[in-house]
Structure 1
Amino acid sequence: MEKSLNSHETPRQSVSPTMLLTMVGGMALFWACFFAMLMRNSFLDPGIDRLWYHLALRIAFFIGFGACCLTISRAPEGLPSPRARRAMTGFVAAFCLIAAVSSTAYAVLGTPLPLAFDLAAWGLSGAGLGCLLFSWMPAVSRLDERSVARCMALSTACGGFLYLVINLLPSYFSIVMLVVCPLVSLAVERVVGHEAGPDEGLRIPLAVSQEKAGLSWAFGVIYIVYGIVFGLGAGSITQLAGDPLLFAGIAGFALAGALAALAFMHRFAGRMRQIDVLRMVFPFLVVSLVSMALFTGPVYALSNLLLLAVYVFLVVVSMAFEVHTAHNRHAAPLYFVGMSQGVLGCGMAAGFALGLLPAAAGATNYAVLSGVALGLVVVLAAFITFAPSRRPADDDDAAEAPEQEHEQGRWKARCTVVAREAKLSARETEVFFLMAKGRGIEHIQNKLCISSHTVKSHTYNIYKKMGINSREELLDAIEAANPDDA
């Protein structure tokens, strides 16, 4: 059974620095556009003098983005069909067209277009950027764990810098950048996808991914509440003056969140669960929300930017964790990432909606809403601490075992027989059991906290004692063993 599972596992690649930098650059163009739509910008917002209008547009954007993520996550075979990919390309092109029309109208007329048009345009823009993100996910999903972490974190950091550049340019140049960036990103993705080869290994039926995911109701509650808190924070940034200092602050804190995520993933690769990440960000959420409720001026602005850094950290770490978890569970990465980002996007829309209520009545003070958000964080803490949530990364070993308990026991018994007959040492036996699950050198060294050289040395000794020369022969030896001899 284990051999059958691993025979369909997607090979994860260590890429050259050139290819990794190409992917980072391509995805950075997506993040630059995403930050421009999420935060204040110099080319769309100046023509809007009503706070509630800003918030309504962001609500439409995240409804479109969340709906796109959830729809793509439901792909029957784990990847969009050729027809769906053409539709995704069309949505990206629609984003570029809408950005050109809306931005030019703002620049020429100095006022926004009719509300109904703007809401539809921002909703389609959210769907377009969602399609661009998931156009990249198959290529990212082929990378090994550390390369995924580097790609996600560095592309987000570079995207924050590009966001700053776009907002410091004259308006017409900013509009051109907003229109061109998604098209260039999509073109780079096509080149990278062609170089990486076919992605048939990522085609896993939706029913299989749903069965192996084990997502509970608590998963949805946690991510929706997080989204509400982050939506409130992003909405409060919208009311700040859109000047170069704010743009630099947004870019700087996005960079800080991305680099913190990269350092975290390198430090705890393979040794921390998603639930631990959610618990870890609590202190930062509490500090930022309390400061938003009690202070004004620069402290208030810095509190909002700290919340942005936490959002970037959580998104980057979550997406990298979910790609890794999907491989561990032999499920579709797009299902895991699409579900989490879709639910988080819906929560963001709800957070902006909470800010819209007082803004529509003429209020601009977010202190009360910060208190509401703090209460949500407390509720969220209770969910994470006590609710029986089962996130995808919570239980690697259980998910990696054969589906039925009886078969799992017989497979382990076979492994025990082989290890005993080969007279493997205790550490060699640990390495042997991980190899039997299809684990590679990087996973084994992280799991057992040993160096790659030590893993290779144990592997050599195991092969020598068993009289074999390959992983395939190792699996054959396990299948040939009699579990009743254990």
Structure 2
Amino acid sequence: MGEEHDASVPEQSRTPGNLLNTYILAGIGFACLIGWELSAVFGPALPLLAFCGIQEATFLRIVSVFTTAGALVFFVVKQDWVFVHRNRLLTLGSLLALFAVANTMANLPGQWIPLWVSVVAWGLFGIAQASVMLYWCIFFSLIPTRRTAMTISIGAIGGTALYIFANSSGTVWLSLVEIAVLIVGSVGIAAFLSTHAPIERVLPVEEYHKSAPLTVPATFSVACHGAVYGFMSILICTMGLVPAIIVGASGFFGALLAVVWAYLGSKVEIDTGIVQRISLPIIVAGLLLFPFFDETGKIVCGCLVNIALAHSSIVTWCSTSVDNAEFQLHPVRFAAQQAPNWVGFLVGAVFAFALTFALAPSGRLFELIMVLFAVLVIVVFSIYGGNESSTKKRLNELLTSSVAPAIDKALLPDDQHAETARANNFRQRCDRVVEKYKLTPRETEVFYLLAKGRNAEYISQQLVVSSATVKSHIYHIYRKLGINSQQRLMTIVDDETSAPIDEGR
């Protein structure tokens, strides 16, 4: 092993064929999800709500956001029950989105269906949106994480392309059929993959770690992100079809940056807090400049905000799914993290609705309102500061409490010669695992001690490095091996006994 291993981090450990097929299929299904989710976000200006005027369309979109937030809160309260019944519950819940598509198709020849029917249809659409998001996060939480971030990021790029394709056909009927295909495709693939997940990776619900809820500052920060997204999406929708398609399509660049982070892997450490600090100036700039430009300038400002928010959203998807899988966190915790975001989206959308259709302020007053909104965003982010210390502390505790070092005693036979032979055998098995998974030299040092049953604190003292560094190495080792516990790592080493031992090593 030499320095060349560090230079080839992106090519580490080839993914087995069956798992690679899972990632590819998951990328397609997730792309379908993003395609129809974007069609919903900018729905008031798109074919999905083409049967009514912009004011009524915005109202129906707000109804769907309300039920999305409500469904996520329900999932949090009943998270164990939801996880146990996930396949039937979330499959049926996700398909409720088809009622909104059918409602639009029925209304196209003439708006003859009562408004309350449309309200019910879009309320069901919101429940479907919450269901399918949770369904996909649960699936990503049950598979090895080696390619999860890349799958989600590339899926988001593909989903943006599907969004453009589905809403740019020029024929409302065709667009609605395409959106229905995206809905069925996303739900169908999620259901297929979830029901075929490796049984050994699905724990009994009581064995998952229950993560601590978001802190109050973090909750406000997440809600603020959602409020900006809801506010800006409604303002863009009031400008018409083309601006809505352009701004929605700009999320491609946010997804592309997420692909870069996924490609670099362990070379960089990107979390939600860092992303939020990066996105803050872009979001504030877009909000402050929006009222001072003509239509083209407003579209550019909307694109800036959407790029930042799309990137933040994708990174949240990646980090939540990977953390769930790596640390055996309750998969339904995704709903707890998304509920504040959608409550914020609801507040932002209602504010934009009132600003556009009820208050209709003059130019200077509108500029002042936008400035005050931007200041509020800055204040909320300043209070939070992108601080994820409590989350990291919780995950670190899971790492340091894996297996006690007493395991070494079981490896000590009475005969000294047998002890030496066994030690050499152990080293050779470790060497084979290191070579197979392309661990870096520093990861290899940590790996040998983990295989002996040592915990993070002991390794930190032995290697004279900080505990944070050790925990980072443990995290990346687990990701490369596709495991989530030290016991599983030791089992992998034990399984190498069946391989022939190379006496010349």
Query: TM-score scaled by structure 1?
Result: 0.76
Helix, strand or coil at the partner of 1:228: helix
Name the residue aligned to 2:36: 33
**Aligned equivalent of 2:25, options 3, 22, 25:** 22
Give 1:157 deviation, angstroms. Answer: 1.5
Name the residue aligned to 1:191: 192
Give 1:36 deviation, angstroms. Answer: 0.9
**Aligned equivalent of 1:332, options 330, 333, 343:** 330
Which residue identity is paired with 1:235?
A: I
**Aligned equivalent of 1:264, options 235, 241, 261:** 261
1:168 aligns with 2:168: yes
Which residue identity is paired with 2:102?
A: A
**Aligned equivalent of 2:53, options 49, 53, 59:** 49
After superposition, the Cα gap between the structure-2 partners of 1:239 and 1:195, relative to the gap in structure 1 and judged at 3 Å, is same
Contact 1:273 1:394 in 2 (8 A): no
Counterpart Cα distance in 1 of 2:448 and 2:325: 20
Which residue identity is paired with 2:298?
A: Y
Aligned length: 428
1:91 aligns with 2:93: yes
Which residue identity is paired with 1:187?
A: G
Counterpart Cα distance in 2 of 1:430 and 1:79: 38
Helix, strand or coil at the partner of 1:330: coil
Which residue identity is paired with 1:93?
A: L
Contact 1:33 1:163 in 2 (8 A): yes
Counterpart Cα distance in 2 of 1:205 and 1:472: 28
Give 1:399 deviation, angstroms. Answer: 3.6
Cα deviation per residue 1:64-113 (whole Å; 9 max; x = unaligned)? Answer: 2222233334445385233x543333333322133212x1134211x485
Name the residue aligned to 1:447: 472
Counterpart Cα distance in 2 of 1:286 and 1:360: 24
Helix, strand or coil at the partner of 1:287: helix
Give 1:197 deviation, angstroms. Answer: 3.2
Contact 1:135 1:189 in 2 (8 A): yes
After superposition, the Cα gap between the structure-2 partners of 1:395 and 1:274, relative to the gap in structure 1 and judged at 3 Å, is farther
After superposition, the Cα gap between the structure-2 partners of 1:190 and 1:385, relative to the gap in structure 1 and judged at 3 Å, is closer
Counterpart Cα distance in 1 of 2:367 and 2:96: 38
Name the residue aligned to 2:178: 177
After superposition, the Cα gap between the structure-2 partners of 1:449 and 1:280, relative to the gap in structure 1 and judged at 3 Å, is farther
Helix, strand or coil at the partner of 1:139: helix
**Aligned equivalent of 1:361, options 358, 363, 385:** 358
- Aligned pairs for 1:60-79 (under 5 A) are 60-77=63-80
Contact 2:99 2:124 in 1 (8 A): no
Helix, strand or coil at the partner of 1:33: helix
Unpaired segments ≥5 residues, structure 2: 1-14, 412-419, 428-440, 457-467, 482-489, 497-505
Identity across matched positions, percent: 14
Give 1:159 deviation, angstroms. Answer: 1.4
Cα deviation per residue 1:159-193 (whole Å; 9 max; x = unaligned)? Answer: 11111111122111112222232223222223323
Give 1:16 deviation, angstroms. Answer: 4.1
Give 1:223 deviation, angstroms. Answer: 0.8
After superposition, the Cα gap between the structure-2 partners of 1:194 and 1:92, relative to the gap in structure 1 and judged at 3 Å, is closer
Counterpart Cα distance in 1 of 2:58 and 2:368: 17
Contact 1:292 1:303 in 2 (8 A): yes
- Aligned pairs for 1:38-437 (under 5 A) are 38-40=41-43, 41-51=45-55, 53-77=56-80, 80-82=83-85, 85-101=87-103, 103-109=104-110, 111=111, 113-169=113-169, 170-198=171-199, 201-205=202-206, 209-210=209-210, 212-213=211-212, 215-243=214-242, 246-247=244-245, 249-267=246-264, 269=266, 271-335=269-333, 337-361=334-358, 363=360, 367-385=367-385, 390=389, 392-393=391-392, 396-402=395-401, 411=404, 430-434=446-450, 436=453
Please say which of residues 57-66 and 389-398 is displaced more in the overlay.
389-398
Give 1:473 deviation, angstroms. Answer: 9.7
Contact 2:327 2:398 in 1 (8 A): yes
Helix, strand or coil at the partner of 2:108: helix
Give 1:218 deviation, angstroms. Answer: 2.1
Helix, strand or coil at the partner of 2:202: helix
Helix, strand or coil at the partner of 1:333: coil
Counterpart Cα distance in 2 of 1:391 and 1:413: 30
CA RMSD after TM alignment:
3.9
Helix, strand or coil at the partner of 1:213: coil
Contact 1:153 1:316 in 2 (8 A): yes
Query: TM-score scaled by structure 2?
Result: 0.73
Counterpart Cα distance in 2 of 1:303 and 1:296: 11
Please say which of residues 261-270 and 223-232 is displaced more in the overlay.
261-270
Which residue identity is paired with 2:131?
A: C
Counterpart Cα distance in 2 of 1:451 and 1:189: 27
Contact 1:434 1:444 in 2 (8 A): no
Give 1:398 deviation, angstroms. Answer: 2.9
Give 1:195 deviation, angstroms. Answer: 3.7
Contact 1:445 1:451 in 2 (8 A): no
Give 1:152 deviation, angstroms. Answer: 1.3
Counterpart Cα distance in 1 of 2:67 and 2:151: 25
Counterpart Cα distance in 2 of 1:451 and 1:225: 31
Contact 1:32 1:162 in 2 (8 A): yes
Contact 2:96 2:128 in 1 (8 A): yes
Give 1:258 deviation, angstroms. Answer: 1.0
Contact 1:265 1:317 in 2 (8 A): no
Unpaired segments ≥5 residues, structure 1: 1-12, 457-467, 475-486
